[in-house]
Amino acid sequence: MSAAPFDCDVLVIGGGPAGSTIATLLAMQGRVVRLLEKDAHPRFHIGESLLPANVRLLEELGVREQIERIGMRKFGIEFVSPQHEHHAFFDFADVWDHNPGLSMAWQVRRSEFDQILFRRAGEVGVQASEGWRVTRVEFDADGAWAHCMHGEQASKLRARFVVDASGRDTLLASQFDLKRRNPIHNSAALFGHFRNAERLGGRLEGNISIFWFAHGWFWFIPLADGTTSVGAVCWPYYLKSREKPLPEFFADTLALAPKLAARLRGAELVDGRVYATGNYSYAAASSSADRYLMVGDAYAFVDPVFSSGVYLAMASAFAALPVVQATLDAGPAAAAAERRRFDAHMRKGPREFTWFIVRMTNPAMRRLFMYSSNMLRSKEAVLGLLAGDIFGKTPIWRALRCFKGMYYLTSLLILPRAWKAWREHRVSIRDVGETKGENVLVQRR
């Protein structure tokens, strides 16, 4: 079997942001690339808020203007707490060293965003196909055989290297039993899109708003077409407690956040459609092997509170490039150092965000976000993280440690409340079995 000719240098599984990005980058370097997407673009996907660090990556792919045309400009983040009268605002203009390259991002409809990236891959020479599902991959010393389904038609493709960008389907991590549940965090989500939601005014209109509530937090993401994406990220046990149809349960959940409910008073749910996703915090035990690697959600996913998913997915594709190149040019042994660097990169993103994510519902963290101080430049550093500026040379780390110190100090000051919240968090993240699987459940009113 292994003596068969290669259909391509690299087979990329999945045409989301991670897959389209690496396919484009490889084709720009002259590689023969096949990109297989099981769905057809444009297709629905959640994950609509980008980070400022995304902008440079979009420029490098040559799609910045196209994204700008479909995007809603986002200059910062609003935090709204049930325990505080005021609202807190974080503006990316205040990021570390006031870096103008990190001053804004976009909110996008993922159907449009992902389609632009996928089409871009085709433009630079990738053989990009929709309606192709990879079901399994077999590896040998020289490459891989991918088993595919195109409609009812089964076929096999031979590639010298495979990139798994299958998102939360986690094709290879599941095939090789590498997927590990995150031991310190777990969440689920229900969401929908609204017409006529009340937005912030002027320059703040496109900001993402985060509303805390008893079972987690809500996002409020204004899109360019006038609709607003609203979702609750909650503990899996809460979603599991549902005894009503999803739309009614969603309405009840929204009522638990009165300040958000007020912004939706005159709004209507588009098509009456509400979505739910099950438990989704995991990482693979390793990110690569001799003839494959994983990028984006195919490797790990934590929680969307900081809108980091698309950026981490695209950044992982950029980080993967030297591994693929080294393997194709000189074989797996020569790529060992690049693989170690890639693995460190893949662990870093989820790790840096996770420290904040698991504490996000703690009153000590809430207090620090609601009364932010720039002591020892800690706010600028937190903004750097929130902008996605974590892989470059920006020296935010000492100031971030200072912020973490302030968190522990604040926890001591409000010890009984902080301790109670921490214990509740431990109970809330317990494994309650499948809520609704990894897939999206949709119900209409």
Ligand X SMILES: Cc1cc2nc3c(=O)[nH]c(=O)nc-3n(C[C@H](O)[C@H](O)[C@H](O)COP(=O)(O)OP(=O)(O)OC[C@H]3O[C@@H](n4cnc5c(N)ncnc54)[C@H](O)[C@@H]3O)c2cc1C
Residues that bind ligand X (CB under 6 A): 13-19, 36-39, 45-49, 133-134, 165-169, 171, 189, 231, 277, 280, 296-298, 301, 304, 307-311, 313
Nearer to ligand X, 211 or 407 (CB): 211
Q: To the nearest whole angstrom, how small is the minimum distance from the Cβ of residue 410 to ligand X? A: 27
User: Of 57 and 368, which has the nearer Cβ to ligand X?
Assistant: 57
Contacts of 169 (CB under 8 A, 6+ apart): 14, 298, 438
| Shortest CB 45 distance to ligand X, Å | 5
CA distance 94 to 103: 8
Give the residue ranges of DSSP H helices in 264-377.
Answer: 309-330, 336-357, 363-370
Which of 11/95 has CB closer to ligand X? 11
Closest distance of CB 244 from ligand X, Å: 20
CB of 308 to ligand X, least distance (A): 6
How far lies 67's CA from each of 2, 57, 92, 109, 193, in Å? 42, 12, 19, 10, 20
Of the candidates 415, 434, 413, 431, the residue with the CA atom closest to the CA atom of residue 423? 415
Please calculate the CA angle 399-345-352 and round it to the nearest 5 degrees: 35
* Minimum distance from residue 79 beta carbon to ligand X (Å): 15
CB of 114 to ligand X, least distance (A): 7
Per the listing, tokens 């609203």 go with 230
Nearer to ligand X by Cβ, of 36 and 346: the residue is 36
In the complex, the smallest distance separating the C-beta of residue 231 from ligand X, rounded to whole angstroms, is: 6
CA-CA distances (angstroms) from residue 59 to 21, 52, 65? 12, 12, 8
- Give min distance, CB of 36 to ligand X, in A: 5
Residue 161, token pair as written in the block = 């290297």
- Residue whose CB is less far from ligand X, 166 or 227: 166
Left if phi > 0, otherwise alpha if psi is -120 to 50, otherwise beta: which for 184?
A: alpha
CB closer to ligand X out of 18 and 381: 18
Q: Toward ligand X, which CB reaches closer, 105 or 432?
A: 105
Q: At closest approach, how far in Å is the CB of 187 from ligand X?
A: 8
Q: Other CB atoms closer than 10 Å to residue 355's CB: what's the count?
A: 14
- Concatenating the DSSP letter of every residue in 388-423 gives T--SSS---HHHHHHHHHHHHHHHHHTHHHHHHHHH
For 14, phi then psi, to 5°, come to 110, 120
60 token code pair? 């490098």
Per the CB < 8 A criterion, the answer to whether 77 and 93 are in contact is no
332 cis-preceded (ω within 30 degrees of 0):
no
Q: Which is nearer to ligand X, 10 or 364 (CB)?
A: 10
* Residue with smaller CB distance to ligand X, 373 or 439: 439
Return the residue matching tokens 């990236």. 117
